[in-house]
Amino acid sequence: MIDARGLACPMPVLKVQQAVKKDHPVTLEVMVDNNTAVQNVTRFANNSGYAVSVKELEDEEFSLTLTKK
């Protein structure tokens, strides 16, 4: 699980990128706290072969589940 809440872009994407390159996870959960991070992480994940499921937990707090296609 990557907690990227409070981090400005591009840091959430960079954290996900590092985890994907290092561990090649089948699934990965990412926590972010702004729509821009949701969009950027989703774009990166889709381009890297992952499907993304987004859940809004609270106002401006999101859980993204990345699953390898």
> Does the active-site annotation cover 9?
yes
Backbone angles phi, psi at 6, to 5 degrees: 85, -5
Tokens (6 digits) for 41: 């992480």
7, 9, 31, 52: which is the annotated catalytic residue?
A: 9
Catalytic residues: 9
